[in-house]
Copies of this chain bind each other. A is one copy, B any other.
Amino acid sequence: MALHRLRVGVAGLGRMGKRHALIFLNQVPRAELVAVSSPDVKEREWAAENLAQHGVTVYEHFPDMLAHDSLEAVCIASATSAHADQSKEAIASGKHVLCEKPLSTTVEASQSVVDAALKRPDLQVVCGFSRRSDESYRDAHRKVQEGLIGTPTVMRCQSCDILDPTGAFVSYAAVSGGVFPDASIHDIDLAIWFFGKDAKIKSVHAIGTAACYRELRQYGDADNAIGMLEFHDGRMVSLFVSRTMSGGAEDSTEIIGTTGKLVVNQVPRTNSVQLYQAGGVFHQMPQNYWKRFHNAFVVQANDFTASIMDKGPPLIELTSAVEVVKIGVALQESMRTGWKICFDEHGTRIDQAHL
């Protein structure tokens, strides 16, 4: 008699959807990939070739996949614009949800998912902030909990992608919500994770430039930007986000506390090889975030599965996924307008003149 394994479907088979599907197929012993869905015919062809032979049913329409026999959970990796609606549909039909970040590019839509989830406390509804599943970030978080750096006071975060010579991110800017909601969102989530829920945002301010891709300006977007977060208890975050790094993906984080500092990934490296050649020493960097974080996605999928199978507590409090969107959107607005944006202690936005 075979053991019961969690029956999972994956929605969306773009770059990330394919990865999620293969992870649930091959790297989550307690789960079973039973269905996938995609409105894109090419993506369904890929699934027919690569997944169908393993007994995975391929759907065109998400609602049809939801109705798949005994489906228990879905991983939503479709276009960002579909995240919130698909999440709510899945919750409504009683499925556990692992939704790719962000829940939405608007605060309102993000909140609507939280509202839906609150009505179904029996379901795991998780927004997939992958860094929370990365072993280095987990180790750093554990060390903070153990008091190794005292009280965290300042964070310095950078989410920097290698320059994509195809410029794909330019057209993506039309739908991504901008560089802060899209890329810095991981760092904003880290701030909430490391500072704790009691840290209430007080102000955000950002500036940016389109140094390499001037076309971004038409979307009010930038390829390099810096921002600052201020919390009501005085804590601060300095953000740097870039689409144009030359060496590779650079996602580094410093957590500075009253008695010490933790750094994650200060000098990125692909592996433990160093090459000594004319003049000096060289090592390779991960060329994209997937090389850096793919293992975190495997851990995330396994933890999601285990939390359902073992009826554990929520993996990540979903409300923080809304806060993260709120801050990201405000940063993007600040960058566009040049204005600092402020919030009172209840999280209500206030005009700077009221300060």
A residues contacting B by CB (< 8 A) are: 2-3, 25-27, 29, 53-55, 135-136, 139-140, 143, 148-151, 153-154, 156, 158, 203, 205, 207-212, 224-226, 228, 230, 234-236, 238, 240, 242, 244-248, 250, 256-285, 287, 338-340, 352, 355
Contact = CB atoms under 8 A, between A and B. Distances in A.
Contacts of A29: 25-27
Nearest to A286: B280
A218 to B, nearest CB: 16
Contact of A247 (B148, B248, B261): B261
Given A205-B205, A282-B282, A260 B277 contact: yes
B203 A228 contact: no
This chain's copy number in the assembly: 4
A133 B232 CA distance: 40
Contacts of A224: 153-154, 236, 256
Given A234-B209, A258-B244, A340-B205, A280 B285 contact: yes
Nearest to A282: B282
Given A228-B205, A236-B209, A277 B148 contact: yes
A277 B282 CA distance: 10
Contacts of A352: 338-339
Given A247-B279, A276-B245, A258 B27 contact: no
A276 to B, nearest CB: 4
Q: Which of A149, A248, A261, A284 has the most CB of B within 10 A?
A: A261
Interface of A (DSSP majority class): mixed
A281 B274 CA distance: 10
23 contacts: A3-B53, A136-B273, A139-B271, A139-B284, A143-B275, A154-B211, A156-B240, A203-B338, A205-B228, A209-B236, A212-B258, A226-B236, A228-B228, A238-B238, A246-B261, A247-B280, A270-B280, A279-B285, A281-B285, A282-B282, A338-B340, A338-B352, A339-B340
A35 to B, nearest CB: 16
A265 to B, nearest CB: 4
A352 to B, nearest CB: 8
Contacts of A247: 260-261, 276-281
A299 to B, nearest CB: 13
Contact of A248 (B156, B236, B280): B280
Contacts of A228: 205, 207, 226, 228
B283 A274 contact: no
Contact of A284 (B3, B234, B260, B279): B279
Contacts of A2: 54-55
Nearest to A246: B260
Contacts of A135: 271
Contacts of A273: 136, 139-140, 143, 262-264
